Amino acid sequence: METPGLQVVTGDSPHALLAELDRTLTTWPLSPFDDDIVVVQSLGMERWVRQQLARRRGCAASLQLPFPAAFCRKLAESLAGIGGPGNETDAPTLDKRFEEEALTWRLFALLSDEDMLADAVYAPLRAFLEQADPAKRYGLARRVSARFDEYRLYRPDMLLAWEAGGHASVEGPFDTAAENPHAAWQCALWQQVLQGERPMHFARWFLHTIERLEQAAIRPVGLPDRLSVFGISTLPPLFVRLLKAVSRFAAVRFFVLVPADPQLVGRSPNPLTAQFGHASQELLTLLGANEPGGSRHVQAAMPAEDSVLHHLQRALRGSELTPTACLVSPTDRSVSVHICHSPLREMEVLRDQLLDAFAVNPALRPHDVLVMVPDVELYAPLAEVVFGGAMSESRPRIPFRVADRALARESAPLQALELLLQLVSSRLGVSDVLHLLSVPSVRRRVGVTPAQVEQLTGWVQQAGIRWGWDADDRVSRFGVPSFVENSWRLGLDRLMAGYAMGPVDVLVEGHVPVAGDLVGDAELLGVFVRWVDDLERHLMRLREARPLSTWSTVLAEVFAWAVVPEGSAEQATMAQIAEAMQALREPSGAPRQRRLREAHDVEDPEVAFEVVRDWILAALDSDDHATGFLTGGLTICAMKPMRAIPHRVIAMLGLDDRSYPRRERRPAFDLIGSARRVGDRDPRTDDRQLVLDTLLCAEDRLHLSYVGRSETNNAEIAPSIVVAELLQYLQRMVHTVDKAPHPLLRVEHRLQPFSTAYFVPTATDTALFSFDDVLAASVRDVTERRKAPPFVARAVTPLHTEGVIALDDLMLAWSNPSQLHAERTLHLSLRDHRDALDDVEPTVVDALLRTRLQQRLLNEVLHGAGERGATARLSASGELPPGPLGAAWQQRLAQQVDPLLQRVGQPRFLEPLTVDLRGHGWQLVGRLDYQHAEEQWRVRAATLKPRDVVRGWIAHLARQAMGVGGTTRVMALDQELRFAPQADAMVLLEALVQGYQRMLAEPMPYFLAAAVAYRKAIATASSGRGAAKPPLEAARAKFAPGGDYGEGDLDDPYVALLWRERDPFAHHADAFVALVDAFWEPLEAAQTVHAASDVTGASVR
C-alpha cells in the first residue's frame, strides 16, 4: 500500500504523464476488489486514458474515470464515518432544497412577492421586475440561482457570512475590498431564502465535511486507497482543499500538463507558456507545486525530425524570452495558420489539408485527427457538406463524428417538441406551423408524406393564410384591431368552401372560396384541417396557467398527440423527454410541488406556461447526452476547457477575434467577477490554456484557421489574440535556408475554392492547392478558354407526339421557344412556383401583384360581375392589406383600370369560341374569350408588351382559320392594336405550327426582345427617320443581359440555360432572321396601332 500524501507530477506531454500514471498503477497494485480511481475532466480524455492504458496493460479493468464535480460530491457523501467507527450518526445530511434547480423555484416565488420587493434594498431589481412577465421573472430566478450555485463553490465563506448577518462585502482572503451595488440585495435575498434557518446547504455541508476530515485523527470509512487526478488544469479551490484533506489518509496524485518544470527556480517561463498557461499555474499554486519539492517533472522523448511543430514544443520547455532561430524546410506544413473568408471555406481548406496529410503519410487515418471549433452548431452542418459525400476519387468521403451537439439539434422528436412549445406563445405564423408539420415524427402522426406537405403549403398560400387563429385570438393575445383576413380560421373555411362548391364566382359569407387543385384530395384536406384544429385546441390548453402538479401530465398528453417516433434512437429521445417532463413532478429527490408549496406558502401554486417551457427546454438543450468522442473517424468537437487530447493532427477552426478566446459574459450582478481570487474560472483564461495544451498534444500537424477576410468586400478581420501571439513567436523562431520567413506559416486563401490559384501552381507559391479534380477540370476549361458544351447537343424527340397542340403552347412557342423546349420536351421548370411563406398580412402591393390584381379586376368586370362586385371579390381575396390601407389600394387599382373600362364601355360578349383546327398531322385546340360577331378582344390591364402582341396575333389567326372572320383588337392601358382579316390564316398557322414542332425538337434561335429590336431597326431604316443600328446589331444588343432599355433575352433563365456561352448571331443568324421574318412580316402588314388617347370608345356588339 502506498504512503498517504499529496504528490504533483507535471509533464510536457500527455504521453509522458500517462506513462507515469501507468507506472504508478503497476508498481502499487490495489486489491482485486478495489478499483483505481482516475479523475478526468472530459469524456474525450476518459476514453483516451482508458484506450491507452488498455494498449499498455492488455486491458483496463477495475478502473473508474469520474469527472471532478461528481466525484468530489460522491466522495463527500461517502465520508459518513468521518468521526471514526460508530460515529456515522454525526455526519450531516445535505439539504437538497438549496440545489440549483430547486433554488430556482424558491427564488421565482420570492421574486413574485411584491411586499418583499418593496424593501429599498431591492431597488436594483424593481425596475426590471415591474415590467417582467412570468417568463422573464423565471429567467432572472434562474440566473440568480446559477450565481448562488457558483458562490457555493468559489465563495462559500461569503454565503456563510451572509447567513451570520454579515454585511454584503465581497472581499475575501485574496482580495481587496470591492464595493458592488448588487451585493446588498443578493445578501438580503439569500437571507430570505434561508428564512432564518441555518440549513445544511452545499457550501455549509461541504466545508463541514472538509473541516472534519482535516481534524480527523484516524482514517475515515469510505476513502479510496489511491486517487489520481489526470490532465486537469483547473479545479475549484474547494475541491482542491477536499483532495488535500484526503491526502492525509490516502495517496493523492495530480498529473498536470505543463511544458516546463515548475521546480526550476530562477527561470522565467517561455513567453507563450506565461501568456497561455495561467490556469494551470494557478492550479499548481493551489497545490503548492511551485514550492521546493512540491512537484516532480517528467518529459517525453522528442522526435528527431526538425519540424516547425517540434521546434515549437522544444521552445515551450525552455525559458528564452527571444526564441532561438531554427532552420526548417520551406515545405514544412507541421504548423500553419489559414486565413479564410467564411466558416465554409475553413472546412473546405481543412479538407484539402487533411487529404494532403493522408497523401504524405499513408499510415495516417481519420481517427488520428481531432477538429475543435468554437460553435459546433455552426460548423457541424458545414462538415456534413464538406466531408459527408464523396465527390470524386481524388476527393473521397472522410468519415467523421460530431460531439457536443445538443440533443435538440439531432433528434426529430425533440425538434418537434421545441417547435410545438414555441408555437404556444407565437403569432401562429404559417411558416412556423408548416415547419412543425414537416418534422418527420409529426408527419408520421398526421399521416402525410413530404410531397403532400408541399401540396398543403400551396393550398395554404392560395388561401392567403398568414398568422393568427382568428380575429378574437389577435385581439385577446396581441391587442391588435379586430380583423379576420389572412387568419387560419378564415383560410381553412375558404379551402373547405372551395372544395364543396368548386371554382364559383360568388362570395360565401363575404369571402372568396379557394378551389385551386383540391379536386380529388378530400381526404388530405380533411386530415389537414382536423390536424390544425386539434393543434389550436392543444395550444389553448397550454396557454392556461395551471398547478405545477398537473403540468407534466398535460405536456405528456400534448406531446403524445403530436409525434410518432421511429427507430431506437427516437425512442431513446422520447424516453429522455418523458424523464424531463416527469422531473416537473419529482425533481432532485423531493416532489417539486411540495417545494413550490413551501416556497409560495399555498397548497399547489399555479405556474404560467412560459415558465414551464423555459425550464423544460433548458433541461433538454444541453450536451449532457453528447457522443462521438474517439468512436472512429475524424472527431469534431467544441473548444471546451481541458479538451485537448493527443492526436497526430489537431485542427482549431474559428480563431477570429470575435469568437476566441471567449468573452466573459457574466451578469452585471455577479460578485465573483468584481473581486477575483486565485482559482476562479475565467473563459478567456480557459481558452488560452486550451491553446497551450493543444500545442503540446499535436504530434504531426497543427492546423489553425480563422475568418480573416470579409465575404462581401474582402476587408481584413482581426485574428484571435492567441493566433497573433503565436504567429509573432513563430515568425521570429523559424526561417528557411535563405533566411526568408517561412512561406507556409500564414496562408491567405481565396474567396472561392475554384480560384485558379489552387490549380495553376507557381514556382514561388506552393501554399495553395486543391484535391478537387472536378473543380480542376472546370478551371482548366476556363483557363484554356474552353466553352461549356451546349445544354442540348442534338435534337430530341418529344415524349408526347400525338399531334394535339394547345393554343397556349403555340403562343408560348413564339413568345419564348426556350421555355417551351425546356418545359414540354425536357420537363424542366425553372419557374419559382411558390413564393416564400409570409408570416405577416399584406402591407404593400408590389408592381407584379398590382398588375395581376388589375387584370383580375378587369376580367371580372368584362365577365359581367360589375365594377362593384369585382372590387368586392378583390377585397375578399386576402391579397390586399386589411382595413383602411386595403380599401385605399382597392380604390387605387380601380382608378388604374377605369380609363380602360371607360374605353370598352359595357360590352355584351358571345359565348367563348372553341378552337379545333386540323392540319397536316396536327390538331390545334383552345378557347378564345371576349368574342363579338365581327371582332374579338384581347384586353390587358397594363402597358402593351411584345408578348401581348404575339398572343393577340396567334389568337387572331385562330379565329380567322375557324371561319369566324372579323378583326382582333388588342387593348392595353397605353395603346391599342387592331389586326385586319386574314384570308390565308390557315397557311400562316401551318407555318407557325411547323416552327412550333421544330422548337419542341431542339432550341431554336428565336428571341422575342431581339426579334422586336430587329424589326424595329428595319422599320427605322426603311422610313429614313434618323440613323439606325444595323438590324442584327440591334438584335444582338437586345439579346445581351440588360439590353439597351431593359431586360435582354439572356435575362430569361430558360434562354440563359439553353444558349449558355453560345452566340446565336454568330452561327445561327440566318435561322434567326428567317424565323423573325416569317412571324413578324405578316403580323406587321395586318396591324394598325392606335394610341389610347385616340380611341374614344369601343363598339358594343
- Convert the pLDDT of each residue in 637-689 to its tens digit: 999 877 788 999 999 999 999 989 988 788 888 898 888 899 998 889 999 99
pLDDT at 360: 92
At residue 118, φ and ψ (nearest 5 deg) are: -70, -20
Are 41 and 231 in contact by the 8 Å Cβ rule? The answer is yes
> What pTM, to 2 d.p., does this model score?
0.77
- Return the pLDDT at 602: 43
User: Does 533 have pLDDT greater than 80?
Assistant: yes
Q: How many residues does the chain have?
A: 1101
What pLDDT score was predicted for residue 739?
61
Least confident interval from 23-27, 340-344, 614-618, 998-1002: 614-618
Residue 601's pLDDT is 44
DSSP string, 511-562: B----TT-TT-HHHHHHHHHHHHHHHHHHHHHHS-EEHHHHHHHHHHHHHHH
pLDDT digits (tens, 9 = 90+) for 204-227: 999 999 998 999 888 888 788 899
The predicted pLDDT at position 268 comes to 65
Arithmetic mean of pLDDT over the chain: 84
In angstroms, the CA 159 to CA 243 distance is 22
Q: Distance between CA 239 and CA 1050 in Å, rounded?
A: 71
Percentage of the chain exceeding pLDDT 70? 86
Q: Residue 705's closest CA among 735, 753, 756, 748?
A: 748
Which residue in 30, 749, 50 sits closest to 344, CA to CA?
749
Q: Indicate if 312-397+628-664+682-781 has the same CATH topology as 5-91+208-301.
A: yes
- Asked whether the beta carbons of 1008 and 1051 are under 8 A apart, the reply is no
Q: Using one digit for the tens of pLDDT, what is the confidence trace for 474-511?
A: 999 988 888 888 899 999 998 988 888 776 666 777 77
| Residue 95: Cβ-neighbour burial (10 angstroms; 0-12, 13-18, 19+) | middle
pLDDT-derived band at 44 (thresholds 50, 70, 90) equals confident
Domain ranges of the chain: 5-91+208-301, 96-199, 312-397+628-664+682-781, 408-618, 804-832+908-1094, 847-897
User: Residue 869 corresponds to which cell in the numbers above?
Assistant: 362586385
Task: Tell me the per-residue pLDDT of 444-461, one tens digit each, with 9 for 90 and over.
Answer: 999 999 999 998 998 998
pLDDT of 311:
87
Q: Which DSSP helix (H) or strand (E) runs through 1014?
A: helix 1008-1023
CATH superfamily of 408-618: PCRA; domain 4 (1.10.486.10)
Is a pLDDT exceeding 90 seen at residue 561? Answer: yes
How far is Cα 397 from Cα 1062, in angstroms, rounded to an integer?
A: 36
- Per-residue cell: 283: 492550479
Rounded to an integer, the average pLDDT of 25-32 is 87
DSSP sequence for 213-259: HHH-SSPPBT--SEEEEES-----HHHHHHHHHHTTTSEEEEEEE-S
pLDDT tens, 261-295? 887 745 667 888 888 999 999 999 999 887 777 78
- How high is the pLDDT of residue 435? 94
Name 247's Cβ contacts closer than 8 Å, sequence gap at least 6: 4, 5, 6
293 Cβ contact partners less than 8 Å away, ≥ 6 residues apart: 263
pLDDT at 605 over 80: no
The CATH number fitting domain 96-199, selected from 1.10.10.160, 1.20.1740.10, 2.60.120.10, 3.30.70.240: 1.10.10.160
DSSP letters, 108-163, are HHHTT-HHHHTSGGGHHHHHHHTT--HHHHHHHHHHHHHHHHHHHHH-HHHHHHHH
Residue 872 predicted with pLDDT over 90: no
Q: How far apart are CA 90 and CA 85, in angstroms?
A: 11
Task: Name the CATH architecture for the domain at 312-397+628-664+682-781.
Answer: 3-Layer(aba) Sandwich (3.40)
Q: What is the pLDDT of residue 588?
A: 43
Checking if the pLDDT of 145 tops 90, the result is: yes
pLDDT of residue 323: 66
CB atoms within 10 A of CB 966: 18
Please tell me the CATH code under which domain 5-91+208-301 is placed. 3.40.50.10930
Mean pLDDT for the stretch of residues 119-125: 89
pLDDT at 442 exceeding the cut of 80: yes
Residue 537 to residue 958: CA distance in whole angstroms: 56
